[in-house]
Structure 1
């Protein structure tokens, strides 16, 4: 009875000793390909694959048509459209964060798996010694067999029951079993993380498709309200080339450009109205996030100065430079810089009117919002902006997407190959520290 159990341990130990090597060398040598006629079964299989591809394409087209019809219906109700825009953008940013976290966990798990493989590989001498002892104790030479780590672990557990027969080997078997058990658990965790990551990527593709349709509908409505939109945008780009700094750009836009001037005028009027409301409600509690729930509003929910501690950061990423720090060329940073993933969704941190949207000097694509009360919010470094001058946008509304590389000048970016979003707050033309405005739960790692 001893020999079969000892053979199991021998096979399991062989697997443990050669497992790492088998992963890199492959477990079998594939025969050389041969040229042969395509069999009827192969032709049938290809036809089935083609039919399946056609079915998937048809399903995608039907889903797209249904989505367009749904968005068109939503477009008739501005409040619902705004709600869907903000909710879908929030979903995209949430899934972006989940994907980042899953990728980080996978990186850690892969590192631990490699360590487990290396540990087993380094124990070859010990395993060979155990094998030699077991081979002498057995009645016949065990077969050479490669098995999965799960099989090796089960064999070890079975063989360890023979501790009374071979007590001197029990300790070594326990150590090998522990390492194999860890490897099995790690591989299961990695498979689970990869499945979840694939599901999240499918979801974000679906959400991004929906978000694109929503943005297109929003811009279609905006274009119908602004008949001379293209001419206004062209004139804005021309004006931007005539000024040398951001303050000059803001002043030029709000003075010379019709839609930007209207936006500035509305911002001033809204600020006066908000000040009157704030004075009447001075004795009430400090405003909270609930003030932004009204999606039908056409002016800021509260005074920008009263929004401290309430505003979300506009993108998922890591803060690499803060206000007041070095800008890398001997100057002082006038805003914050956030390193992001390629294609990340950018949303508005506050309510406001768009007074500029387009390229500007070393900032790449630049978006300027008039938040009222003399406050302006500048967001730069995106690859594509999806709003137009004169639009009123709500907190959390999607306004742009990041590219695959840095669009901001090198003085604002730590790594030129990584997308970087630059955010600056200004009060009466002077840059101010945006720190007090960010929501307390945001921290260095933006959650969205």
Structure 2
């Protein structure tokens, strides 16, 4: 019996050791369900960003024109940045889940700790009592026989409980391993993010320089956009004036050149103007959300002021990469009256996108962008980036046109 009890006590004591402490999980997850939902969303965003990056890299490799190739390369790098950001979100959600499960297991073990500690202490005390001393004391032999009978019935129960504790400890080790792996994945994603942001910043600067060199009137257009921003009463009026200017520019660009004088003026005829094709009203061929994040306010929802939401509000992680939702031309880029820095992209066929809530900008007025081209970064603190899609000045739900 004296040989079995120390071993038994050691097995039970294993269950009372504190579980190893892991790094603190992000506090933005109030429940395990929120963490699981965030993990699923981050993994989906990671897959989508990887697919976009691979598609844009293939497009850049096939590109013949230098400007088209450069835009595709810049958009591909922005997609890789968003992929790394989603990887960080996924690692943080995995870490939060592992820590929550570890703490729940620790609380469960604590509930079973007190009775087993008392039993183990009593058994160890009896095991240290010399057998000769038990024989000399009155009643000790009877107590010894009684103790042996109690032990014969108690030891199987203790063995059963220690087996359960060993299973729980194995589970705790797995949770610790998962948490450490999540931390390692987060560090790797953060390192990749820093490197890709450096490369993206260099590509974005090259794009801005090329845009200035290619468009001699870009400075005049930027000044005109600033004047319109100062004159506009609100954001709706600014977008309306920019759309009017864009429509005028499209009509002027579509005008035919001078027709040659006919040899016989009397036989000349004027053809009727062609009716617009159905494709002239189609939305952008590729359209995406400007930033990865949860939709906190949907299209048409009533805000605190009672006014209906004209677009989508997305919760962006700090310094998240913001990209162009569709191909087009930047007609405004700069700060505007409480909206932070905003970007207005003019698409074909009378479509316009407005992105607000940026902290830094990587584009300039007059610059051509493709779907996924970098526009800038979200603020350093977690906030909202909004997206509005309009056609002919009327707000349209962007979710209906995501491709």
Matched with 1:423 is 387
Q: CA deviation at 1:170?
A: 1.6
Q: 1:237·1:359 contact (CA, 8 Å) conserved in 2?
A: no
Q: CA deviation at 1:252?
A: 3.9
Mapped to 1, the partners of 2:352 and 2:21 lie a distance apart of 57
Matching residue within 310, 327, 338 for 1:362: 338
Q: 1:102 to 1:271 in 2, by over 3 A?
A: farther
- Listed as ranges, the matches of 1:29-428 within 5 Å are 77-132=66-121, 134-136=123-125, 138=127, 166-226=155-215, 229=218, 232-253=221-242, 265-266=249-250, 305-307=282-284, 310-405=286-381, 418-428=382-392
Cα distance in 1 for residues equivalent to 2:300 and 2:254 = 31
1:380 to partner: Cα distance: 0.8
3-state SS, counterpart of residue 288 of structure 2: coil
The question of whether the paired residues in 2 share the 8 Å contact of 1:99 and 1:200 is answered with yes
Shift of 1:304: 6.3
Q: Provide the C-alpha distance between the structure 2 equivalents of 1:344 and 1:189, rounded to a whole number of angstroms.
A: 26
Q: How far 1:333 sits from its partner (Å)? A: 0.9
TM-score computed with the length of structure 2 as normaliser: 0.71
Cα RMSD for the two superposed structures: 3.5
Query: C-alpha separation between the residues in 1 aligned to 2:21 and 2:79?
Result: 41
Q: Which residue of 1 aligns with 2:140?
A: none
1:425 aligned counterpart, secondary structure? strand
Could you tell me how far apart the structure 1 residues matched to 2:223 and 2:5 are? 82
Shift of 1:192: 1.2
Structure 1 gap segments, 5+ residues each: 25-73, 142-162, 256-260, 283-301, 406-417, 440-448
CA 241–253 in structure 1, closer or farther in 2 if over 3 Å, else same: same
Q: Which has the larger radius of gyration?
A: 2
Q: Deviations over 1:353-400 (max 9, x none)?
A: 111111122322111111121211111111112111111111111112
* Distance (Å, rounded) in 2 between the aligned partners of 1:183 and 1:88: 39
1:13 aligns with 2:12: yes
Q: Secondary structure at the match of 2:18?
A: helix
Deviation (angstroms), 1:269? 5.1
Q: Are the counterparts in 2 of residues 18 and 121 from structure 1 also a CA contact under 8 Å?
A: no
Confirm or deny that 1:438 pairs with 2:399: no
Q: In the TM superposition, what is the alpha-carbon distance from 1:14 to its structure 2 partner?
A: 3.0
Displacement of 1:134: 4.1
Rounded Cα–Cα distance in structure 2 between residues aligned with 1:97 and 1:342: 12
| Structure-2 separation of matches of 1:101 and 1:359 | 32
- Pair 327,262 (structure 1): closer, same or farther in 2 beyond 3 Å: closer
Rounded to whole Å, the distance in 2 between the matches of 1:313 and 1:304 is: 21
1:130 shift after superposition:
3.8
